Amino acid sequence: MLSAATMLALFPASAAVSASNEAEFEESFVEFEALPDMPEATGNVVDITEFEPPVEEEARGESLGAGVASYYGRRFHGRPTASGERFDMHAMTAAHKTLPFGSMVRVTNTRNGNSVVVRVNDRGPFVRGRTIDVSRAAAEELGMVGSGHARVELELIS
């Protein structure tokens, strides 16, 4: 701890402090010099020095069930999405009716097992019986461009 004389040397603006004020200044820090020992922990306490967090396996999320996916591409490329950003048919994005914008969803084609992770940035699909619309790039990875739609499993990642 710095003495009052050292403090005054370091901070000349304090030089106007009188000798009596200097003593008060010194005394004000006495209570901080020796802090009491911490009491022993009682009850439900975790010793963080011995805590080992669980090892995460491949990120698994909440199942959203099965449905039919379709895709949209060239006709909508560059147009604004419901989130306000421009649709990019080359990005891994999707439209969903209710999931919040920014949600990450794993879409798995049940016929061939191909899967992609897409980010929800639009609303839709607006065709009865469809669960999700994916971008053209996602549709290519899923192997559904030829048919235009596929039976899929959806899993919310984040």
Amino acid found at 11: F
Residues 135 and 93 in one domain: yes
The residue segments making up the domain with residue 42 are 1-53
| Total tally of structural domains belonging to the chain | 2
pLDDT(12) > 90 = no
Residues 68 and 146 in one domain: yes
Positions of E strands within 54-97: 62-72, 93-96
Model pLDDT for residues 22-46, shown as the tens digit of each residue: 667 666 665 555 555 666 656 666 5
Residues 48 and 120 in one domain: no
Return the CATH number at 67: 2.40.40.10
Residues 150 and 111 in one domain: yes
Model pLDDT for residues 127-146, shown as the tens digit of each residue: 999 999 999 999 999 999 99
Residues 149 and 89 in one domain: yes
Model pLDDT for residues 111-130, shown as the tens digit of each residue: 999 999 999 999 999 899 99
Asked if the bond preceding 125 is cis, omega within 30° of 0, the reply is yes
* Tokens read off for 52: 């080992």
* Model pTM score: 0.62
Residues 5 and 47 in one domain: yes
3-class DSSP state of 45: coil
